Amino acid sequence: MASNRGAGNREDQETVSGAEVIAQALKKQNVDYMFGIVGIPVTEIAVAAQAVGIKYIGMRNEQAASYAASAVGYLTGRPGVCLVVSGPGFIHALGGMANANMNCWPLIVVGGSSDSNQEMMGAFQEFPQVEACRLYSKLSVRPSSIEAIPFVIEKAVRISIYGRPGACYVDIPGDLVNLQVNASSIKYVECCMPPPVNMADASAVSAAASILRNAKQPLLIIGKGAAYAHAEDNIRKLVDQCGLPFLPTPMGKGVVPDNHPNCVAAARSRALQHADVILLLGARLNWILHFGLPPRYRADVQIIQVDICAEELGNNVKPAAALLGDINAVTTQFLEHYSKRPWQYPPNAEWWKVLREKMKSNEEVSKELASQKSLPMNYYTVFYHVQEQLPRDCIIVSEGANTMDIGRTVLQNYLPRHRLDAGTFGTMGVGLGFAIAAAVVAKDKNPEKRVVCVEGDSAFGFSGMEVETICRHNLPILLIVVNNNGIYQGFDAETWKELTKLGEISQVGPPVSLLPNSHYEQIMTAFGGKGYFVQTPGELQNALTTSLAEKTVPSLINVMIQPQASRKEQDFHWLTRSNM
CATH of the domain at 347: 3.40.50.1220
Q: Is residue 193 part of a domain?
A: no
Residues 143 and 171 in one domain: yes
> Considering 355, 381, 406, which residue would you say is the last residue of a domain?
355
pLDDT at residue 92, rounded to an integer: 96
- The CATH number for 489's domain is 3.40.50.970
Q: 533 lies in a domain?
A: yes
What tens digit of pLDDT does each residue of 40-75 get? Answer: 999 999 999 999 999 999 999 999 999 999 999 999
- The answer to whether residue 171 is domain-embedded is yes
In sequence order, the β-bridge partners of residue 170 are 110, 141
How many other CB atoms sit within 10 Å of the CB of residue 511? 6
> Dihedral of CA 493/497/499/503: which sign?
positive
pLDDT at 1: 45
SS3 of residue 339 by DSSP: helix
CA distance 137 to 90: 13
Within a domain: 4: no
364 belongs to a structural domain: no
Cα distances (angstroms) measured from residue 559 to each of 166, 389, 396, 400, 510: 36, 15, 17, 14, 23
My answer on whether 340 and 441 are in the same domain is no
Same domain for 178 and 211? no
| Per-residue model confidence (pLDDT) at position 160 | 98
- Look at residue 7 in the predicted model and tell me its pLDDT: 43
Tell me, yes or no, whether 306 and 249 share the same domain: yes
Same domain, 33 and 104: yes
Q: Are residues 324 and 439 in the same domain?
A: no
Q: Give me the domain span that covers residue 51.
A: 15-185
Question: Both 310 and 411 in a single domain?
Answer: no
User: Which pLDDT belongs to residue 12?
Assistant: 56
Give ∠ CA 103-105-107 in degrees, rounded to 5.
130
Q: What is the pLDDT of residue 8?
A: 44
Q: Is the same domain home to 351 and 398?
A: no
Q: Which residues, including other chains, have CB under 8 Å from residue 149's CB and lie 6 or more apart? A: 18, 21, 22, 25, 143, 176
- The answer as to whether 10 is a domain residue is no
pLDDT of the chain along its 580 residues, tens only? 444 444 444 445 799 999 999 999 999 999 999 999 999 999 999 999 999 999 999 999 999 999 999 999 999 999 999 999 999 999 999 999 999 999 999 999 999 998 887 777 677 778 889 999 999 999 999 999 999 999 999 999 999 999 999 999 999 999 999 999 999 999 999 999 999 999 999 999 999 999 999 999 999 999 999 999 999 999 999 999 999 999 999 999 999 999 999 999 999 999 999 999 999 999 999 999 999 999 999 999 999 999 999 999 999 999 999 999 999 999 999 999 999 999 999 999 999 999 999 999 999 999 999 999 999 999 999 999 999 999 999 999 999 989 999 999 999 999 999 999 999 989 999 999 999 999 999 999 898 999 999 999 999 999 999 999 999 999 999 999 999 999 988 888 888 887 777 655 556 667 888 999 999 999 999 999 999 999 999 999 999 999 999 989 999 999 999 998 776 544 434 444 444 4
Q: Check residue 453 and report its DSSP letter.
A: E
* DSSP one-letter string for 62-131: HHHHHHHHHHHHHHHSS-EEEEE-TTHHHHHHHHHHHHHHHHT--EEEEEEE--GGGTTTT-TT---HHH
Q: Based on the domain organization, do 231 and 287 belong to the same domain?
A: yes
Residues 396 and 517 in one domain: yes
Residues 94 and 208 in one domain: no
pLDDT tens sequence across 505-553: 556 667 888 999 999 999 999 999 999 999 999 999 999 999 999 989 9
* Helical spans, DSSP H, in 275-349: 327-340
Q: How remote is the C-alpha of 182 from its chain's centroid?
A: 41
- Could you give the number of structural domains in the chain? 3
Q: How far apart are CA 307 and CA 479, in angstroms?
A: 35
Which of 124, 155, 185 finishes a domain?
185
How far apart are the C-alpha atoms of 540 and 528, rounded to whole Å?
21
For 571, the 3-state DSSP assignment is: coil
Residue of 133, 110, 191 whose CA lies nearest to 158: 191
Q: Which of 185, 218, 246 is the last residue of a domain?
A: 185
Residue 507: per-residue pLDDT: 64
Same-domain pairing of 532 and 413: yes
**578 is a domain residue:** no
Sign of CA dihedral 65, 402, 490, 373: positive
- Is residue 579 one of the residues assigned to a domain? no
Confirm if 35 and 81 have CB atoms less than 8 A apart.
yes
Query: What integer pLDDT is reported at residue 568 of this predicted model?
Result: 57
Angle at 254 between CA 578 and CA 423, to 5 degrees: 35
